[in-house]
Amino acid sequence: MTNRERVICALKHQPPDRVPYQVGFTAAARDAMEERYGQKWSAALDNCFHGVSTASGPLQGWLSETVWQDDFGVQWDRSVDRDIGVVCNCLLPERNLDHLTFPEPRDPRRWEGFESAVAAAQDRCVQFCIGFSLFERAWTLRGMENLLVDMLEAPAFVDDLFDMICDYNVAMIERAVSYEINVVHFGDDWGAQRGLIMGPEMWERFLAPRLQRMYGAAKDGGKLVSIHSCGKVQELFPRLIELGLDCFNPFQPEVMDPWEMKHEFGDRLAFWGGVSTQRLLPYASPDEVRAEVQRLLEGIGEGGGYICAPAHSIPGDARPENVMAMIEVLTDQ
């Protein structure tokens, strides 16, 4: 099987010839691996996904050595977190959308090189990625605290903001599915370590209808749907399955038991992740890492429905020897 075939097989709950995997790194973790193992340590990796996105718009770029601006005009201070950063401006200080503008999703310049990027996947599964896809995009524009208060005090304003974001995403998806992609992947953290940030009622009120539109646009184009949401969000799994979700990431073992989730939802929902980045990779021994990764491959991977991966991009405090132990088990299947 090719990596593309393995992923599609797994997402359709059929057993592939081996469990597909995906290993991502923060900048700090990659630096630590290169310091320990040299420049060629990553050659053994055979990740299953090939992510594609549209070209950058005119707003995107570095404003200083530490501040990066995205396509929407949101500015990110990366002086501490080199990978994402912390929002350091507020484009919506008031409940007013009159002057808010988004990138043009149908601008041909946004799609220049997209076909070539898709073709570069070779035998990997092509994943069109929309990060900060709804709740996250809203709070980056408005501020987290402001948005949560808005949900209580100004629901009509939140509806308008979420609809604006959803319309943009749907237009992007409708164009993307005309290419030979396999999966539309949404990034949108809804959870904290103990539960949903906005609670289940607000999630259903504001997010579910827009998710249905976005997932529907991908499904109408014949594509699979995956999401990334950190945190304890498993109470949403039945609803997400109804909305058309195929695969959930990051499958954090600190907040959900992988075996319980596989037993309860594994016939309807595939999982991607499961290797602890909070406890296992930073604090365990290499032998303990090997044993746990093997246990995941054999137990959660049985019958398909699983993509093995760290529960998030590997953090800088992960021990390089532990990361290498994980890679060895994944590549020796």
Task: Give mean pLDDT, residues 250-259.
Answer: 96
Rounded CA-CA distance 151/230 in Å is: 21
Task: Give mean pLDDT, residues 166-189.
Answer: 97
Residue-level pLDDT at 40 = 80
The alpha carbon of 161 is separated from its chain's Cα centroid by a whole number of angstroms, namely 22
Residue 167 has pLDDT above 90, yes or no: yes
Rounded CA-CA distance 133/232 in Å is: 19
48-100 confidence digits (pLDDT tens): 999 999 999 899 999 999 999 999 999 999 998 999 999 999 999 999 999 99
- Using pLDDT thresholds of 50, 70 and 90, give the confidence band for residue 42: confident
Sequence-distant (6+) residues with CB within 8 A of 13 are 266, 267, 270, 303, 304, 305
Residue-level pLDDT at 171 = 97
E strands present in the chain: 49-52, 61-62, 67-69, 75-77, 86-87, 125-130, 183-187, 191-192, 195-196, 224-228, 247-249, 270-275, 306-310
The crossing angle, in degrees rounded to 10, of helices 144-153 and 155-176 is: 120
Task: Give mean pLDDT, residues 286-300.
Answer: 98
Rounded CA-CA distance 177/182 in Å is: 8
The crossing angle, in degrees rounded to 10, of helices 135-142 and 155-176 is: 120
Task: Give mean pLDDT, residues 263-289.
Answer: 97
Give the pair of three-digit tokens for residue 33. Answer: 């691996």
Asked whether 23 and 330 are in contact (CB, 8 A), the reply is: yes
For 282-306, give one letter per residue: b (16+ CB within 10 A) or e: eebebeebbebbeebbeebbeebbb
Q: What's the whole-number average pLDDT of the chain?
A: 96
The count of residues in the chain is 333
Residue 43 has pLDDT above 90, yes or no: no
Task: Give mean pLDDT, residues 172-177.
Answer: 98
Give the pair of three-digit tokens for residue 92. Answer: 């919506």
- State the CB neighbour count (10 A cutoff) for residue 30: 18
Task: Give mean pLDDT, residues 189-215.
Answer: 97
Rounded CA-CA distance 322/281 in Å is: 6
Task: Give mean pLDDT, residues 232-244.
Answer: 98
Q: Which CATH class is domain 3-57+107-331?
A: alpha beta
User: Is the bond preceding residue 250 a cis peptide, omega within 30 degrees?
Assistant: yes
Percent of the chain at pLDDT exceeding 70: 100
Residue 39 has pLDDT above 90, yes or no: no
Residue 153 has pLDDT above 90, yes or no: yes
- Using pLDDT thresholds of 50, 70 and 90, give the confidence band for residue 136: very high
101-134 confidence digits (pLDDT tens): 999 999 999 999 999 999 999 999 999 999 999 9
- Using pLDDT thresholds of 50, 70 and 90, give the confidence band for residue 44: confident
Task: Give mean pLDDT, residues 144-149.
Answer: 98
Backbone φ and ψ for 250, nearest 5 degrees, come out as -105, 0
- Using pLDDT thresholds of 50, 70 and 90, give the confidence band for residue 277: very high
- State the CB neighbour count (10 A cutoff) for residue 276: 20
